[in-house]
Every structure is written in C-alpha cells, then in structure tokens.
Amino acid sequence: MSEFFHALASQDFLQTAFIGGLLASIACGVMGSYVVVKHMSFLAGGIAHAVLGGMGVAYFFGKSPISGAIAAALVAAWVIGWVSLRWRQTADTIIAALWSVGMAVGVIFISMTPGYNVDLMSYLFGNILMIPRTDLYIMASLDGLIMLTVLVFYQQFLAVCFDEEFARLRGLPVDFFYLLLLTLVALTVVVLIQVVGLILVIALLTLPAAIAAQYLRRLAPIMALATILGMFFTSGGLALSYTPDLPAGATIILVAGTVYLLSLLVTGLARRRRC
C-alpha cells in the first residue's frame, strides 16, 4: 500500500487516475441515488451497454471514443425514456434489445477498424490508468452539469421519482423531467465508463447509493454518503490493485461489492436483534 502512495506522489498517470475516480464518484453518488430509489438499474444498464455502439462508431471514424459515448448514451436514454413513458409493458423488451444491439454495433465497428484492437477490453472493463488528462476536464464539466441541474430541479425530480401520477396532477411536466433525469443518468454512465468500463458500470452506479439507502432515509443525505462511499471505493480499489497489478476497474467493483455484502449482513443482524 505504501508503494501506492509513493507512486501517487510521483506518477502523473496515477494522479490522473486518482482524480478521475474522485470525479466519477460525484456523478455516481448523485445520479446513482436516483437510479436506486426509482428502481432504474436495468434501464441504466441498457444505456451503458448501448454506449459501446457509439464508442465503436467513433473509434472507426477516428474520433475520440468519449464523444461517441456521449452521443450514444443520450440517444439510448431518450429512446428508452420515450418507450417507457409510452409503452410501459414492453419497455423491458425494448431496453433488452437496445442493450444487445448497441453492443453488436460496437463490436462490429471495432472489428472493422484496422489495427490492433486493444481498446475493446478497456471499453468493456475500463482502464482508469489510461484516462487521458483531457478527459478529466470532460468528466469535471459533466459533473458540474449534473450537480447544477439536480440543484435546480431537486424538488421536481423528487416528486417525479416518488409519485409520478400526483406530480402530473399538480401540473408538473413529468415526461420532461423524466427524460431530463435519464439524460443525466446517461452522462453519468459516460463518466463512469472511463473508470470501470461499461460492463461494470451498473455496480458502481448502484452499490454506493444502495449502501447509503440502508442507513439514511432522505434523498439528499443518501446522495452525499453515496458520493463519499464512491470516492472510498474508487481510490481504495485503485490502491489495492496497484502492487499486485490487478485490473483497477474490477478491483474497485469488488471493494464496492464486499462492502455492500457486509453492510447487508450488519443491517440484517441489527434488524433481527430489534425484533
């Protein structure tokens, strides 16, 4: 572990990775809380996997994958949002279709790109150590955008998540806020993919908020605690993975998963004792 801190002090790429983890935690704590309380993890998973399509296309045309990811995430979020507002019953199937079709498009475009396809693995499982410094600025501005929007529309989002029908009856443009919420989830997914890749993104999005929701009963504190937990998981996972040279993204998820399981045990035991 001390080896990690030495390296952190001197190595540029490690600092970038560390900051990237912290930046990702902000988006993940705030939007992950919405995903957990509104039970949208399948939907977020659909967005995350569809993103590979956009990354593949961008990669093929020699553009930066993150721009392709942003475009694909937004399109996927709006399609999924629109479908689930119109046809609630079949939304499930359509999300699943988008999930795999997006990945299929991505794989095909990546395979058509000449050269050695080393990037596919890092899209799927992330490579926090390879984050370009410029991506940090994109991540930071996405964080800023997410936080500002949530700050402005906190009450509206709360109402839409809690009781959509009542919000509609009070004259709130529920469809608009629902799509806006999904848009923010999509941007969060893009930020998190830089860290853990699109396969593992759902775990990082939901686990910190799910742990926080076990102890807190208000949304804003859950967001704050989830952000702190996310920071702990990303930097802890990064540190743990350094010396044995494990994949950082997977280590981060294992740390998060372990803490979640322990937390489930603790709250379960506490509840049993109370009964």
Partner 1 sequence: MNPIVILKSVSFSYGGPTVLEDVDLAVEEGEFLGLVGPNGSGKSTLLKILLGLLEPSSGQAQVLGGTPAQARGSIGYVPQFAAFPHDFPISAGEVVLQGRLGNVRLFGGYRSEDREIARQALMETYVWDLKEQPIGSLSGGQLQRVLLARALATQPKLLILDEPTASIDPRAEEDIFDLLKKLKSRMTILVVSHDIGFISQYVTRIACLNRTLVCHTTSALTGEMIQQLYGSPVRMIRHTTR
Q: What is the dihedral of CA 27, 33, 38, 41, to 10 degrees?
A: 60
Q: Which is nearer to partner 1, 39 or 88 (CB)?
A: 39
In the chain, the largest separation of any two C-alpha atoms, in whole Å, equals 63
| Least Å from the CB of residue 215 to partner 1 | 10
Q: Given the complex with partner 1, which of 137 and 166 has the nearer CB atom? A: 166
For the bound state, the minimum distance from the C-beta of residue 244 to partner 1, rounded and expressed in Å, comes to 38
Q: How far is the CB of 5 from partner 1 (least distance, A)?
A: 36
Q: Cβ neighbours of residue 116 under 8 Å, at least 6 residues apart?
A: none
Query: How far apart are CB 118 and partner 1 at their closest, in Å?
Result: 42
Element (H, E) at 208: helix 174-215
CB of 77 to partner 1, least distance (A): 22
Question: Is there a contact between 182 and 43 (Cβ–Cβ < 8 Å)?
Answer: yes
The site for partner 1 (CB under 8 A) is made up of 37, 39, 151-156, 158-159, 161-163, 165-172, 213, 216-219, 222
Helix %, strand %, coil % of the chain (to 5): 85, 0, 15
Q: Report the C-alpha dihedral over residues 95, 208, 263, 242, rounded to 10 degrees.
A: 110
Q: Cα separation of 80 and 69, whole Å?
A: 16
Q: What is the DSSP letter of 125?
A: H
| Residue of 143, 48, 63 whose CA lies nearest to 98 | 48
Residue 221 beta carbon to partner 1: minimum distance, rounded to whole angstroms:
8
